[in-house]
Amino acid sequence: MKQGFFEIIENIPLTDSVYKMTLKGDVSAITAPGQFVNIKLEGLYLRRPISVCDVEGNTLTIIYKVVGKGTQQLSQMQEGTLDVLTGLGNGYDLTAAGDSPVLLGGGVGVPPMYLLAKKLLAEGKKVRVILGFNTAAEVFYEEQFRALGASVAVTTVDGSYGTKGFVTDVLNTESYSHFYTCGPEPMLKAVYKASTTSGQMSFEKRMGCGFGACMGCSCKTITGYKRICKEGPVMRKEEILWED
Amino acid sequence: MGRLNVNLCGIELDNPVIPASGTFGYGYEYAELFDINCLGTFSFKGTTKDPRFGNPTPRIAECTAGMINAVGLQNPGVEKVISEELPKLKKCFHKPVMANVSGFSIEDYAYTCEKLDAQEQVGWLEVNVSCPNVHGGGMSFGTDPKAAAEVTAAVKKVTTKPVIVKLSPNVTDIVSIAKACEDAGADGISLINTMLGMRIDLRTRKPIIANKMGGFSGSAIFPVAVRMVYQVANAVKVPVVGMGGVTTAEDVIEMMLAGATAVEIGAANLVDPWVCRDIINALPEVMDKYRINSLSEIIGGTK
pTM, two decimals, is 0.94
pLDDT per residue as tens digits for the range B127-166: 999 754 444 544 578 898 999 999 999 999 999 999 999 9
pLDDT of B137: 47
Of B32, B66, B69, the CB nearest to A214: B69
pLDDT of A243: 76
Average pLDDT over residues B214-235: 98
What domains can be seen in chain A, in order of their start residue?
Answer: 2-88 (2.40.30.10), 94-200 (3.40.50.80)
pLDDT per residue as tens digits for the range B43-75: 999 999 999 999 999 999 999 999 999 999 999
Cβ contact, residue pair B67, A212, below 8 Å: no
Cβ contact, residue pair A212, B69, below 8 Å: no
pLDDT of B130: 75
pLDDT per residue as tens digits for the range A43-98: 999 999 999 999 999 999 999 999 999 999 999 999 999 999 999 999 999 999 99
Give chain B's mean pLDDT: 95
CATH superfamily of B6-298: Aldolase class I (3.20.20.70)
- Closest Cα in chain B, distance from residue A46 (Å): 6
| Model ipTM value | 0.92
Q: Is the pLDDT of residue B231 over 70?
A: yes
Q: Where are the domains of chain B?
A: 6-298
CA A128 to chain CA centroid, Å, is 16
- Closest Cα in chain A, distance from residue B143 (Å): 25
Catalytic status, residue B131? yes
Low-confidence ranges of chain A (pLDDT < 70): 244
Closest residue in B to A214 (Cα–Cα): B23
Q: Is the pLDDT of residue B1 over 70?
A: no
pLDDT of B139: 55
Write out residues 46-105 of A within 8 Å (CB-CB) of B: 46-47, 85
